[in-house]
Chain A
Amino acid sequence: MEDYSNYPLQLDATDRPMVRFQNVTKRYGALTVLDNLNLDVAEGEMISIIGPSGSGKTTVLRMLMLERIQGGVIYVDGTPLTHEAKGGKLVEASERYLRKAREPIGMCFQHFNLFPHFTALQNCMEGPVQVLGLSKKEARERSEELLEMVGMIDKKDQHPSRLSGGQQQRVAIARALAMRPKVMLLDEVTSALDPEVIGEVTEVIKKLVKEHNLTIMMVTHQMGFAADISDRVCFFYGGRIEEQGPPKELFGNPQKERTQQFLSAVKSAD
């Protein structure tokens, strides 16, 4: 049993990143996927997470949304996400607490995961109506505005099966935004797309970065795209951050040998 008495119940206003991973460890059975991770993401920051497969990069996002951790604490907007305060101490969060604490986080997936029995518009309205309790009218206005932004307003009454991969991913981005998240997780959102439609999705993400003060964590294989829009790039290797820095430095002048190897391998594959 880990002792959580060293972890604050609430982060101090002077030291309050949007997301903080503090000594976070994630295991699947005997396999340690993330080992004592420490990472802060500032409000409005856009960070890209890169690395070879099996480096734990996707796990970083999944812990914020889908999975429990085995050590350490994750804070979102100063409040613990993975744990809750009980009797002045942190204990592992209940399902109910987790669901509530995750509300300010939105996520987009590699395979979109749109609800196939709903139209594009219904997909976007589902969360605001059912979870946030908005009226149908408010939710519709909000959703239509977002579908407009991602350029999918013309297809709002189509079911996902009628949409291309790129179109589905744009709807999925609108669906996540409709919850007005503070943090947005993008998990390899272009990996399942045909090359010719990747551009329409990256354009939307660029717009997002420019026009909204969102905190974004993106796992990607597209180095050029990551270099273009990120404030910071983290290179993961073997469940740890091997190297991180502004894209210019990390891509232009990587310090660690593993980073250099990885980047040259990716480059030669392109």
Chain B
Amino acid sequence: MFDWKWDFTFEILPRLGWATLNTLIAAGGGYAIAIVLGLALALAQRSPYRALTLVVREAVEFIRSTPLVLQIFFVFYVGPQFGIRLSPWTSGMIAIGLHYSAYLSEVYRGGIESVPKGQWEACRSLSMSTSDTYFRIIIPQALPPALAGMGNYLVGIFKDTPMLSVIGVAELMHAANAIGSEHYRFLEPYTLVGIIFLAISLPSAGLIRTFEAWVRKRLGMS
């Protein structure tokens, strides 16, 4: 490619490598929040309290239909207005975790609904408590069909981390922007960022499928 400078490429690679680590940490942190919060949102939508169900349903719909980048700004800037100062990392994790918890709650709901009605009836016939019914019987069966969706959103969260650069989280995009403006060269940093994202997200689909098969086997459900 014309004008591609290899020495510059090798000079900036280590810096992008470190930033990749930050990107992965950001994605992992956000995902951890999303996984737990998503389950809470899914279970709340199945609760017998109609008011709670409706409020949570609408909140999930709201989070899902508004832009993540706007939510990141909201979380970062609204805190200080009320005297709560959050670091870029903290607000970024909260925003991205909250955003994806809405998506994961839908994945969980789909998984839970895929469990046959007879399983609920069997739990009832054994007088099992609601929490035992969920955590011992329903959720383990809801998990395998939900895994593909969960995996896709892990990759999704990873690809959305560049948005965290807008509030100054030092991930890949942030590093590429900094390099670009220091050297007045954008070709190499932006292209490399693209290649790094491809290199991580392309094999992930296969990995998710392998993991899904492994879980099914572990649960004796294949």
Chain A count of residues within 8 A CB distance of the other chain: 29
Cβ of A159: which chain B residues have Cβ within 8 Å of it? 220-221
Chain B count of residues within 8 A CB distance of the other chain: 20
CB pair B119 A113 closer than 8 Å: yes
Other-chain contact of A115, B119, B127, B129, B222 (Cβ < 8 Å): B119
Cβ of A149: which chain B residues have Cβ within 8 Å of it? none
Question: How far, in angstroms, from A117 to B126 measured CA to CA in the complex?
Answer: 17
10 pairs, A vs B, C-beta closer than 8 Å = A65-B125, A66-B125, A102-B127, A111-B116, A115-B141, A117-B219, A127-B126, A131-B127, A131-B128, A159-B221
Whether, in the assembled complex, A175 has its beta carbon less than 8 Å from a beta carbon of chain B, the answer is yes
Other-chain contact of B126, A100, A126, A161, A185 (Cβ < 8 Å): A126
Whether, in the assembled complex, B121 has its beta carbon less than 8 Å from a beta carbon of chain A, the answer is yes
Other-chain contact of A109, B121, B127, B136, B141 (Cβ < 8 Å): B121
Question: How far, in angstroms, from A142 to B219 measured CA to CA in the complex?
Answer: 24
CB pair A115 B137 closer than 8 Å: yes
- Measured CB to CB, the closest approach of chain B to A101, in angstroms, equals 9
Interface of chain B residues 124 through 158 with chain A (CB within 8 A): 124-129, 132, 136-137, 140-141
B-contact bits for A39-58, CB 8 A (1 contact / 0 none): 00000000000000000000
Cβ of B140: which chain A residues have Cβ within 8 Å of it? 117
Question: How far, in angstroms, from A175 to B137 measured CA to CA in the complex?
Answer: 14
Question: How far, in angstroms, from A207 to B129 measured CA to CA in the complex?
Answer: 31
CB pair B124 A102 closer than 8 Å: yes
Question: How far, in angstroms, from A157 to B220 measured CA to CA in the complex?
Answer: 11
CB pair B125 A119 closer than 8 Å: no
Other-chain contact of B220, A100, A107, A119 (Cβ < 8 Å): A119
Question: How far, in angstroms, from A114 to B123 measured CA to CA in the complex?
Answer: 10
Q: Return the 5 tightest CB-CB contacts between A and B, nearest first.
A: A159-B220, A113-B118, A127-B126, A113-B122, A107-B125
Cβ of B219: which chain A residues have Cβ within 8 Å of it? 116-117
CB pair A111 B125 closer than 8 Å: no
- Measured CB to CB, the closest approach of chain B to A135, in angstroms, equals 17
Whether, in the assembled complex, A145 has its beta carbon less than 8 Å from a beta carbon of chain B, the answer is no
Query: Looking across the interface, which residue of chain A has its beta carbon closest to that of B48?
Result: A95
Q: A117-B219, A159-B220, A161-B221 are in contact. Are A130 and B128 (CB under 8 A)?
A: yes
Taking A103-B127, A119-B220, A130-B132 as given, write out 9 further A-B residue pairs in contact, using a Cβ cutoff of 8 Å, ordered by the A residue number: A65-B124, A65-B125, A99-B124, A105-B125, A115-B119, A115-B141, A126-B128, A130-B126, A131-B129
Query: Looking across the interface, which residue of chain A has its beta carbon closest to that of B126?
Result: A127
Q: A116-B220, A117-B140, A161-B221 are in contact. Are A131 and B126 (CB under 8 A)?
A: yes
Cβ of A109: which chain B residues have Cβ within 8 Å of it? 118, 121-122, 125
Q: A-side binding surface: helix, strand, loop or mixed? A: loop
Cβ of A115: which chain B residues have Cβ within 8 Å of it? 119, 122, 137, 141
Query: Looking across the interface, which residue of chain B has its beta carbon closest to that of A160?
Result: B220
- Measured CB to CB, the closest approach of chain B to A60, in angstroms, equals 15
Cβ of B136: which chain A residues have Cβ within 8 Å of it? 126, 130
Cβ of A65: which chain B residues have Cβ within 8 Å of it? 121, 124-125
Question: How far, in angstroms, from A114 to B219 measured CA to CA in the complex?
Answer: 14
Query: Looking across the interface, which residue of chain B has its beta carbon closest to that of A100?
Result: B127
Query: Looking across the interface, which residue of chain A has its beta carbon closest to that of B140?
Result: A117
A-contact bits for B181-222, CB 8 A (1 contact / 0 none): 000000000000000000000000000000000000001111
CB pair A127 B137 closer than 8 Å: no
- Measured CB to CB, the closest approach of chain B to A132, in angstroms, equals 9
- Residue among A65, A66, A100, A115 with max Cβ neighbours from chain B (10 Å): A115
CB pair B128 A127 closer than 8 Å: yes
CB pair A127 B220 closer than 8 Å: no
Cβ of B116: which chain A residues have Cβ within 8 Å of it? 111, 113
A-contact bits for B104-126, CB 8 A (1 contact / 0 none): 00000000000010110110111
B-contact bits for A90-123, CB 8 A (1 contact / 0 none): 0000000001101101110101111111110000
Cβ of B127: which chain A residues have Cβ within 8 Å of it? 99-100, 102-103, 127, 131, 179
Question: How far, in angstroms, from A159 to B219 measured CA to CA in the complex?
Answer: 9
Cβ of B132: which chain A residues have Cβ within 8 Å of it? 130-131
Cβ of A139: which chain B residues have Cβ within 8 Å of it? none
Question: How far, in angstroms, from A112 to B140 measured CA to CA in the complex?
Answer: 18
Query: Looking across the interface, which residue of chain B has its beta carbon closest to that of A107?
Result: B125
Whether, in the assembled complex, A176 has its beta carbon less than 8 Å from a beta carbon of chain B, the answer is yes
- Measured CB to CB, the closest approach of chain B to A160, in angstroms, equals 8
Query: Looking across the interface, which residue of chain A has its beta carbon closest to that of B138?
Result: A115
Cβ of A117: which chain B residues have Cβ within 8 Å of it? 140-141, 219-221
